[in-house]
Structures are given as structure tokens and as C-alpha cells.
């Protein structure tokens, strides 16, 4: 009977969230954890009845919340008493809407963010230096290829004049 009462309270919260057009799923499993209501991809809503105030349940709820947050979820809780109060339930639903929008925006910006967003600045600087060195080597290689191609087209006399010119340039340095 008490379990049914908890489900009715949960259903009341779910109904309020769905009225606001939020994508909700009830009784979702994330790993070995069961979530009362999942809103979108990352907002977990937990409806806490009176039994959540029991000593052992408090620590389990806190552990569950830490595990979910460590996995990147936002956890919002509402008590059964607050769910019964229409004003408090609407206020809570507003909080869920804000959290859902923030998470949706954050997920979108993560998709739009550059691939380097999680690389430390020092690592990026090293990569940039390495890329610049490789670009310089590539330029030198292409320059040498052009010179070789040019030399292949030159006559013996032109090659001799080119060699004299190169030697005179070296002598000036």
C-alpha cells in the first residue's frame, strides 16, 4: 500500500513535468541504479517519500546521487510532501525545466565545441610547435623537389652556371 502511495506521488510529479512538454521516462536504469524519472538525457528526478528519511536510506540516496553526478547527471529531488503542494510542485517543475534546458544547451555546445576542448593548454602548445616544425620540413622537402625537378630540366651549361651562382652565394655569407 505504501509503495502504491509512493508511485502515485511519483505519477503526480511525472504528470506535471509532461504538462511542460519535457521528454520523461519513468523507472530508468543507469548501470545498477534505478531513477524515478529521467528528463531528457541527463536530468534525474527523484521523488522522496517518507521512507527516504530513514537512516539507512539517507546514506544510500546520497551515494546514489554522488554516483549519478560522477557520471555527468544532474539530480533533482522533491519530497512527497512538496509534491502534494500544488505551488511547490509547480516551482519544482520550473527548476526541472531550467535544468533540462541548461543540460540540453551544454550537450549541444559540447557537440559544437572544437576537438581540442579537453586538451590542456601546455599540450596544445606542444602540438602546435610540433605541427609548425612538420610544416617547415614539408616546405623544405617541396622546395628541394622543385629544385631537383628544375635541375633535371637544365642543360649542362645551365647546371654549371647554377653551381657557380650557389658557390658565390655561399662565399658572401
pLDDT in tens, 29-75: 998 999 999 999 999 999 987 665 555 667 788 889 999 999 889 99
Hey, is 28 helix, strand or coil? strand
pLDDT digits (tens, 9 = 90+) for 89-136: 999 999 999 999 998 888 777 666 566 666 677 777 788 888 899 999
Q: What are phi and psi of 46, to 5 degrees?
A: -115, 130
Residue with cell 541504479: 33
Superfamily name and number for 2-113: VSR Endonuclease (3.40.960.10)
Amino acid at each position: 500500500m505504501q509503495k502504491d502511495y509512493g508511485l502515485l506521488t511519483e505519477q503526480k510529479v511525472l504528470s506535471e513535468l509532461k504538462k511542460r512538454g519535457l521528454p520523461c521516462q519513468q523507472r530508468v536504469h543507469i548501470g545498477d541504479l534505478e531513477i524515478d524519472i529521467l528528463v531528457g538525457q541527463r536530468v534525474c528526478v527523484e521523488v522522496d517519500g517518507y521512507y527516504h528519511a530513514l537512516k539507512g536510506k539517507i546514506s544510500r540516496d546520497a551515494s546514489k546521487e554522488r554516483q549519478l553526478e560522477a557520471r555527468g547527471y544532474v539530480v533533482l529531488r522533491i519530497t512527497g510532501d512538496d509534491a502534494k503542494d500544488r505551488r511547490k510542485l509547480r516551482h519544482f517543475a520550473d527548476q526541472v525545466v531550467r535544468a533540462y534546458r541548461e543540460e540540453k544547451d551544454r550537450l549541444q555546445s559540447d557537440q559544437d565545441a572544437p576537438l581540442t576542448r579537453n586538451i590542456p593548454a601546455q599540450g596544445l602548445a606542444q602540438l602546435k610547435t610540433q605541427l609548425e616544425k612538420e610544416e617547415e620540413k614539408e616546405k623544405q622537402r617541396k622546395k628541394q623537389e622543385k629544385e631537383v625537378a628544375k635541375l633535371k630540366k637544365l642543360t649542362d651549361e645551365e647546371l654549371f652556371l647554377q653551381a657557380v651562382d650557389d658557390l658565390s652565394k655561399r662565399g658572401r655569407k
